[in-house]
Structures are given as structure tokens and as C-alpha cells.
Amino acid sequence: MADLDVPTLLAALPPRLAGIVQGHAAATPHAPSLRDPDAGTVDYAALWQAVQDSAAQLRALGVRPGDRVMVVGENCANLVALIFAAGLVDAWIVNVNARLSTREVDALRAHSGARIVFYTADVSPDARAHGERHAAMAAAGPFGPWLVGPLNQDCAPEAVHVDGAAQPAALVYTTGTTGQPKGVMLSHRGLAYVAAVSSRLRGLTPHDRAYGALPTSHVYGLASVMLGTLYAGACLVLAPRFTAPGLLQSLQDERLTILQGVPAMFARLLELTGDAAPLPNRLRFAYAGGSPLTPSLKAAAERLLGVALHNGYGMTESGPTISQTDLAAPRADTSVGRPIPGVALRIVDAVGADVAPGQPGHLWVRSPGLMLGYYRDPAQTAAALRPGGWLDTGDMGRQDADGALFIVGRSKELIIRSGFNVYPLEVETVLNAHQAVAQSAVVGRTCADGNEEVIAYVEPDARADRAGLVELLAAYSARELAPYKCPSRIIVMEALPAAATGKILKGRLWQMAAELPA
């Protein structure tokens, strides 16, 4: 990682994200850029033309520099073109997953003050339903029809900056795992930096074919997967949404060489195929991010795919990548690797002083990919962005002597039980290692005496026997954990509440825990 010249890389980035496509269209116009279930293979020349046509459409519809352009949808070629086109006219893309509820979509539309809203109705029944509810009309897109809503005459454009480091390209809303969603402003340069570094660290070449099922409404799917793949001139195989059978078919039929996902995706693939024998594929790189990766899932996925499953860490506010394991040196543990080039780390105590080496503390980061701030929320911005250009991630971590980073848990999730610190991630790791558990989530619940108890929500493995499962896991936890770390209650759920990416929505579980009888 250390041989990457970050200042030279930053200087070479295009001023707007659309320059990524424009450059490949000029150099390799007939190379495949996208594989779309409906549009087929789209080369870079065709994608660049679609970006320009979409930009012209935006201008004709009344979109101005500084406006926000919202798209409610799922992955498709039209959506990719619109992301680049919005930046080409200096508008901000606001990419919203169509699987959100009516209340959630309406709240994001109102908060962003979107000038206009597009709906990928042709590939998403959910997007169609939202569009029809908003009185959207059918319109032609570069790769097929979609719906376009009425112009918001009350939208006020924001300031426009020539400098790509200051001009927002995307307004990305957090998944709200621990609270209300916040609008994160990410710049053209910040997103391009993460795309460039991700591409380099994966060793991407124009011959690679990457799986594109992670929603581009999530920063991982947007920056690392979509932008990172196209930055390298490689081909992105799009899927509107993830299904295990769909991934299995793409591995076989689309000759995938790159597979990036969240741990839940790999768990679903294992449930579908079992892990008794290697799965034929052409993968050379597999990567899990977005939520913690357990040792048991990592080992099982590596047996199934026949390649190392790399791990990494990031967050929306960092655009997202902060660290990842080295392509040339896979790790057997659950470290999220070393900081990527250009990223600096600090691990500090509650007052911002550096802790002793190797000790856990609050994780602060500094990076060219950091957000510009939270939209319309200066108080939250000031709380997250510290003097010196540091972002307080809200996570707890520790760093080994070799620079490897380990995430201990979220600082807001810390449970204090009888005076002892309990990190939910440690308890979840133990529970997830049991063969009867598909995934788990641990939250704290305040008791009448002010103490906290540990509540574990468990989603059983599809093959697990539910009878006596709570007692089985309680006995197992007692063997594997100190008494104060053992869950006071274990609650079995058919499916844990999750965002479209598979990330568990702990905010809902906290609410459920708070409503439990004493």
C-alpha cells in the first residue's frame, strides 16, 4: 500500500466524476463498462453518450447548478448515467433506495429539497409505486423508460465551486442504524480519490468484471464498487438487488473476477450452496465490508470461493474506505487491515488525548475522502469534524504494532454492566461462531437501577433446530464469555431488521429492547 503516491494521484483526478467515463470513452471506447439485465453490454462510448444525453435532459427539465437531483431506484444503467450526469451540470445526486418506506422516501425528499425526482420504475416495482404516488410521468431514459416527477419550484440552489474538493457530487443519507438518517455531503474529489485508491488496491484492470448488486444508494456500492470499477476501465455487472441465486448465476454466467459485498451476502450464498465443496468460479478477489466479519463466516466463505476473503472498514462520512487488508497478504484474523494510502488514524480517550499503543479508544481519521459536512445540520457537523481535519468516527478501535486496525465496536453501543465495559461486537462474534446462528445483534438496555443488561437478538441458521435454541446459546455463551458479558436475554427472530445492504438496523432493536417487560 505504501508505494502509492497520493499527492500525484489527487492531482490527476478529474474535476468532476463524469471525467472518469469521458477518459475511458476517449481511450477505449469499445471496452465494456456495464452489463445490464435489460440494456445488455454497454461500452464506454455508449455510457459517455448516455451521460451527456442525461445531462441535456436535466437542463431541459429545469435543473440548475447547485440543485439536488433525487433518484428513487435500484441498480441499472439509467441510474449509473444519471449519477454522472448530475455532476456534469453541477447538481448533487441524491440516490435513494426504492425499498425504503413511504415515510422514509418522503422525509429524504423533503430534507434534500430535491429539484426533481427520477424513479427507475422499469427495473423496480417499489420505485414504480413511489413514482406513481408522487404523480411522476413516463419519460425516456438513455437505456429505457423511467418515471420523472414534477419540478419543485421551491428548491433553492446551493453555491457551486469550481474546485472538485469543495463541490458536492452526492448527498448520501446514512442508513440510520443508530438514529435518524443524516445527509452526508461528499465531494467530487473525495469520491474520486476513494474510487482511485480502491481500484489500485484491488489491482483492477480493464479485463476485470465486478459484481454490482450493492445499492449505489449506499456509499460502499457507489464509491468502492461502481466508481472504483469504472475508474479502472473495468466492467460492472449490474443487478437491481441482491439474491443468492442471482449471485450464483452471475458467478457462472458472467465470468466475475471481483466480488465485493457485505457479510450477509456471503452468508446467504453459503446457505444456498452449502460449504462442502469449492464453488467453480473465476474470482481473483473477494471482499467483505459494511458490517463486522466473523471468523467462522470468513473461513466458510473462503472454502466455498477458493480465494481469500479480504476485510475492510469505512463509513459514509469518510467516503467510505478507511482501511482494508492487503491484497498480497491476506489475514487469518478479523482485522480490517491497515489505513489505505492518504488516511491517517488516531485512537484517543474521551478527552481527545492519544491512548497508549495497542489500547482501545475512540477512532479518529483524516482523509481526502472525508465529507464536507452534514447537509443543513451545522451542529452535527461540528460534533463529528474535529480541529485539525479529524473525523470522529463514533467507533472504538485499537491498532496493533504492525498498523493493523481492529474495530471493537461503536462508542454509542458500549454497554456498561456492573461497572464493566461490554462491547457488543465481541458478544456478537461469539454468538455468530455457533453453527446454529446465521447472524446476531447485541444491544444494551437500561434497568431500573441504572445498570445495563445485555440483550442478544439472534437470527437462526436456516438448517438450525429452533427447539431449545435459547437454552443452547445461553449455555454456549456461559462457556465462551465472562459472566458480565453474557446476554441477559436471547431473543430469536426469523430475520433481523436490516437495510437494503444487509446492514442490521440496531436503532429498531434498541427500541424493541426498551419495550421489553422488566
C-alpha cell at 116: 426533481
Pick from 111, 157, 68: nearest CA to 377? 111
Residues 495 and 480 in one domain: yes
Distance, in Å, from the CA atom of 497 to the CA atom of 494, rounded to the nearest integer, reads 10
- Specify the pLDDT at position 180: 63
Q: 153-162, 176-185, 197-206, 328-337 — which is least confidently predicted? A: 176-185
* CATH label of the domain that carries residue 444: 3.30.300.30
Pick from 190, 178, 5: nearest CA to 87? 190
In a domain, 18, yes or no: no
The total number of structural domains in the chain stands at 3
In a domain, 61, yes or no: no
pLDDT, tens digit, for every residue of 22-53?
999 999 999 999 999 999 999 999 999 999 99
pLDDT, tens digit, for every residue of 298-336?
999 999 999 999 999 998 999 999 999 998 888 888 899
Contact predicate 296/432, CB 8 Å: yes
In a domain, 148, yes or no: no
Reduced to 3 states (helix: H, G, I; strand: E, B; else coil), residue 149 is coil
In a domain, 241, yes or no: no
Residues 425 and 503 in one domain: yes
Residues 425 and 393 in one domain: no
Contact predicate 473/437, CB 8 Å: yes
Distance, in Å, from the CA atom of 86 to the CA atom of 117, rounded to the nearest integer, reads 12
Final residue before a domain boundary, out of 382, 410, 438? 410
In a domain, 323, yes or no: yes
Residues 406 and 469 in one domain: no
The helix-helix angle for 102-112 and 125-133 (nearest 10°) equals: 60
Final residue before a domain boundary, out of 359, 391, 410? 410
In a domain, 435, yes or no: yes
Final residue before a domain boundary, out of 410, 429, 457? 410
Contact predicate 134/45, CB 8 Å: no
- Specify the pLDDT at position 334: 81
pTM (two decimals): 0.85
Residues 393 and 439 in one domain: no
Amino acid at 96: V
Segment 240-261 mean pLDDT: 96
Segment 126-131 mean pLDDT: 97
Residues 449 and 484 in one domain: yes
Distance, in Å, from the CA atom of 400 to the CA atom of 124, rounded to the nearest integer, reads 45
Contact predicate 4/341, CB 8 Å: yes
* CATH label of the domain that carries residue 374: 2.30.38.10
pLDDT, tens digit, for every residue of 457-505?
999 998 888 899 999 999 999 998 878 889 999 999 999 998 877 778 8
- Specify the pLDDT at position 22: 98
134 CB-contact burial (10 Å; exposed 0-12 / middle 13-18 / buried 19+): middle
Residues 337 and 393 in one domain: yes
178, pLDDT greater than 50: no
Residues 476 and 405 in one domain: no
C-alpha cell at 270: 453459503
Q: Which residues of 184-205 are buried (b: 16+ CB within 10 A; e: fewer)?
A: bbbbbbbbbbbbbbbbbbbebe
In a domain, 468, yes or no: yes
Residues 6+ apart with CB under 8 A from 168: 92, 158, 185, 186, 187, 188, 372
Element holding 485 (H helix, E strand):
none
333 CB-contact burial (10 Å; exposed 0-12 / middle 13-18 / buried 19+): exposed
Residue 271 sits in which domain range? Answer: 262-285+296-309
Residues 387 and 428 in one domain: no
Strands of 32-150, DSSP E: 32-36, 40-43, 68-73, 92-97, 116-119, 137-141, 144-148
| Phi-psi region at 169: left, alpha or beta (left = phi > 0; alpha = psi -120 to 50) | alpha
pLDDT, tens digit, for every residue of 447-460?
865 678 999 999 99
Distance, in Å, from the CA atom of 192 to the CA atom of 198, rounded to the nearest integer, reads 10
